[in-house]
Structure 1
């Protein structure tokens, strides 16, 4: 089981990865969305914004009931979050097998697929 700190570090790596996109790829991801990532086995959640293909303003919540509503909501076990961010876990396979759960619009699902 990964720790809260390891999950936060994985989200930091994701933010850095998104921040490194070139202008052409960034232009196609200009929408702003609120994002939450709940890690049930740790009882923690993270909430932030996806803006201009950047993950910003990420805040950790130790009480998952207090997390603000988000347009894109992920639920993922602690071990799978770093694996997904680092490319060791395929997003579509994890989604199809039920390892991760995502609640988002169809358009947002397509954008998530491109990120991971």
Structure 2
């Protein structure tokens, strides 16, 4: 099981990757609040996807988040590092994403 700090670092790595993608034109066209829940650690993080970037990453849940990702700590890290295929993980319910259908289509670029 990964630690809370490792999960936090993985989210910051994802934010850095999105920053690099946004600078090269691979912009994710969303402006939504995001919650990332890690049930095995009984913790959560939240932030905002805006302008192709993930900003304002902080500890704690956002129950009103428009997009919610739920994953075990090891799965979250594997997903962010590319060791876990997002499509398969979501299809097998290893990772759960709650968002409206249009946002899910846009999130394919992220995952």
Q: Same fold (TM over 0.5)?
A: yes
Residue aligned with 1:88, SS: coil
Q: Is the 8 A contact 2:29 2:106 kept in 1?
A: no
Taking the aligned partners of 1:34 and 1:23, their CA distance within structure 2 comes to 23
1:23 positional shift: 4.5
TM-score (norm 2): 0.93
- Give the number of equivalent residue pairs: 110
Residue aligned with 1:70, SS: coil
Residue aligned with 2:72, SS: coil
RMSD of aligned alpha carbons: 1.2
Matched, 1:113 2:108: yes
| Structure 1 residues not aligned, in runs of 5+ | none
Structure 1 segments, 4+ long, off by >3 Å, are: none
Taking the aligned partners of 1:20 and 1:85, their CA distance within structure 2 comes to 15
Matched, 1:43 2:42: yes
| Structure 2 residues not aligned, in runs of 5+ | none
For residue 74 of structure 1, the aligned residue among 69, 89, 110 is 69
Matched, 1:59 2:58: yes
Taking the aligned partners of 1:31 and 1:54, their CA distance within structure 2 comes to 9
Taking the aligned partners of 1:31 and 1:13, their CA distance within structure 2 comes to 19
- After superposition, the Cα gap between the structure-2 partners of 1:104 and 1:44, relative to the gap in structure 1 and judged at 3 Å, is same
TM-score (norm 1): 0.89
Q: Is the 8 A contact 2:90 2:96 kept in 1?
A: yes
